[in-house]
């Protein structure tokens, strides 16, 4: 590895637990990264994100390059200083947002030209520019620029995008200047076609990356096909490198992916759901806007270790949400992030003890029992 190290401390079947060591700290794996799109995890302070058990967060290259701007961030001391988060940050490459948000995109071998969804200003993102932006931001883990295609995609389209992404990955790797404590990850593409995933993983494995990500999933293919694709991909990823599943997912998705050997995750779900009145708990998902909670005095979750927000009465959370009070979104977001981190901690402990199967059964049983048991 060029600027980081990954130590696998225990195995339980395909699942593993370990440590990803970066210059700004260690990431205990399997790990969930809350998303700080524009330099903040929405509705949470950096201190509260850390207190929830978070080792690393994700920030968004596309959004930060548009505002406040990568060069401005560099002049202000980098993203860590800017947002008051001295711990590791992974930045995505901007490829997904260019494809999903930007206007008037023109894709070519050199990169992608687009107009900002904010003000219509013109920009060009190449593999080299993406690496430069992430360097200016001060990212601890850089992600290569890749082409993200919509679901469903035919085999020819998936192959074309995968091969372009592989060429871009090689350029990104060359543009990344090896620095102590920092890392660069490649992204395996290929749609849901197992042979394309294998070809992508094998090609990237020879380029000297510090880790590999599984991209292009959770875009509408359904959980069963997603899990099949994860298995087909992991089988060809170097076991010594950390494996990162991008943009996934529900607690159930995380549990299934950890079972299959994935180490890192990110998703907007815990924060976005919290802002919309949804809570993830040891008894499953709750919609706190539902009238059934108007006079429910019980805490959000009766399981220990879910953070201070989880002790707030459900009736109060219901009231805050129905009244449109910002505090409701803040409390639920904090509780959701704490639950995700508690779930990761429980899985790490179970893998280390060689009892992941039992722990997974207990977790699923809790979800199945529901909140009124």
Residue 2 has pLDDT above 70, yes or no: no
Same domain assignment for residues 255 and 154: yes
Q: Are 356 and 13 in contact (CB under 8 A)?
A: yes
| CA–CA gap between residue 371 and residue 373 (Å, rounded) | 6
Helix, strand or coil, per DSSP, at residue 12: strand
Give the CA distances from residue 125 to residues 131, 145, 159, 246, in Å, rounded to whole numbers and listed in that order.
10, 9, 22, 20
Nearest Cα to 120, choosing from 93, 138, 102, 108? 102
Domain final residue pick, 247, 266, 285: 266
Please report the sign of the dihedral spanned by the C-alpha atoms of residue 123, residue 183, residue 232, residue 164: positive
Residue 95, domain CATH: 3.20.20.105
At 73, is the secondary structure helix, strand, or coil? helix
Neighbours of 98 (CB within 10 A): 24
Q: Clarify whether residues 278 and 248 are in a common domain.
A: no
Which pLDDT tens digit goes with each residue over 205-257?
999 999 999 999 999 999 999 999 999 999 999 999 999 999 999 999 999 99
Residue 12 has pLDDT above 80, yes or no: yes
Give the pLDDT band (50/70/90) at residue 3: confident
**pLDDT confidence band for 104 (50 / 70 / 90):** confident
207 and 169 in contact (C-beta within 8 Å)? yes
pLDDT at 305 over 60: no
Q: Let me know whether 249 and 305 are in one domain.
A: no
> Which is more confident, 349 or 93?
349
Q: Does 38 fall in a domain? A: yes
In the chain, the DSSP E strands lie at 5-12, 15-22, 25-29, 31-33, 35-36, 57-60, 89-92, 103-107, 112-115, 122-125, 141-143, 183-188, 211-214, 243-245, 264-266, 278-281, 284-287
Q: Are residues 114 and 228 in the same domain?
A: yes
| Residue-level pLDDT at 99 | 79
Domain that holds residue 111: 5-266
Q: Tell me what percent of the residues of the chain surpass a pLDDT of 70.
A: 98
User: What is the reported pLDDT for 179?
Assistant: 85
pLDDT at 372 over 90: no
pLDDT score, position 244? 98
pLDDT exceeds 60 at position 142: yes
pLDDT at 308 (0 to 100): 61
Residue 373 lies in a domain: no
Nearest Cα to 4, choosing from 277, 19, 330?
19
Q: How many whole angstroms separate alpha carbon 341 and alpha carbon 5? A: 22
Catalytic residue set: 92, 266
- 116 in the same domain as 248: yes
The torsion defined by the Cα of 256, 221, 64 and 22, in degrees rounded to 10, comes to 30
Same domain, 42 and 128: yes
Out of 219, 244, 266, a domain closes at 266
Q: Do 109 and 189 have their domain in common?
A: yes
| Contact call for residues 337 and 34 (beta carbons, < 8 A) | yes
Give the pLDDT mean for 12-26: 98
pLDDT band at 373, cuts 50/70/90?
Answer: low
pLDDT bucket at 96, cuts 50 / 70 / 90 = confident
Phi/psi at 246 (5° precision):
-85, 130
The pLDDT, as a whole number, for residue 281 is 94
Give yes or no: residues 90 and 205 share one domain: yes
pLDDT computed for residue 13 by the predictor? 98
Residues 318, 283 share a domain: yes
Looking at the predicted structure, is the pLDDT value of residue 169 above 90? yes
Q: Are residues 160 and 299 in the same domain?
A: no
How confident is the model over 110-116, as a mean pLDDT? 94
Q: Directed axis angle between helix 356-369 and helix 326-353, to 10°?
A: 150
34 inside domain? yes
Q: State residue 288's pLDDT score.
A: 97
What share of the chain has pLDDT > 90, as a percent?
90
147-157: per-residue pLDDT in tens? 999 899 999 99
Domain stops at, among 206, 238, 266: 266
Task: Please count the structural domains in the chain.
Answer: 2
Q: Are residues 321 and 345 in the same domain?
A: yes
> Are residues 259 and 303 located together in one domain of the fold?
no
Question: What was the pLDDT predicted at 304?
Answer: 60
């Amino acid at each position: 590895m060029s600027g980081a190290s990954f130590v696998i401390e225990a195995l339980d079947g395909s699942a593993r637990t370990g440590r990803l060591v970066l210059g700004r700290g260690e990431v205990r794996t399997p790990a969930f990264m809350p998303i700080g799109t524009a330099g903040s995890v929405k509705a949470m302070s950096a201190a509260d994100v850390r207190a929830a058990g978070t080792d690393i967060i994700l920030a968004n290259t596309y959004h930060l390059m548009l505002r406040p701007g990568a060069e401005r961030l560099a002049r202000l001391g980098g993203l860590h200083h800017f947002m008051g988060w001295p711990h590791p940050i992974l930045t995505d490459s901007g490829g997904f947002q260019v494809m999903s948000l930007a206007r008037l995109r023109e894709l070519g071998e050199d990169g992608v030209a687009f107009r900002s969804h904010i003000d219509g200003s013109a920009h060009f993102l190449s593999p080299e520019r993406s690496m430069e932006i992430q360097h200016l931001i001060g990212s601890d883990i850089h992600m290569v620029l890749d082409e993200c295609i919509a679901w469903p995609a035919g085999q020819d389209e998936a192959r074309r995008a995968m091969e372009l992404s592989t060429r871009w990955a090689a350029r990104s790797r060359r543009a990344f200047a090896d620095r102590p404590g920092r890392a660069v990850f490649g992204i395996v593409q290929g749609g849901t076609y197992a042979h394309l995933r294998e070809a992508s993983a094998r090609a990237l494995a020879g380029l000297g990356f510090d880790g590999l990500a599984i991209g292009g999933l959770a875009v509408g293919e359904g959980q069963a096909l997603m899990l099949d694709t994860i298995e087909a991909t992991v089988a060809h990823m170097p076991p010594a490198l950390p494996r990162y599943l991008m943009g996934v997912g529900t607690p159930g998705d995380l549990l299934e992916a950890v079972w299959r050997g994935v180490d890192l995750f990110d998703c907007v779900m815990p924060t976005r759901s919290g802002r919309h009145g949804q809570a993830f708990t040891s008894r499953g998902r709750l919609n706190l806007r539902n009238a059934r909670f108007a006079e429910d005095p019980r805490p959000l979750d009766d399981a220990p270790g879910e953070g201070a927000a989880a002790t707030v009465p459900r009736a109060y959370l219901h009231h805050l949400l129905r009244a449109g009070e910002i505090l409701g979104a803040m409390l639920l977001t904090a509780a959701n992030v704490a639950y995700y981190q508690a779930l990761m901690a429980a899985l790490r402990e179970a893998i280390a003890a060689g009892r992941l199967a039992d722990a997974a059964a207990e977790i699923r049983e809790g979800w199945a029992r529901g909140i009124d048991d």
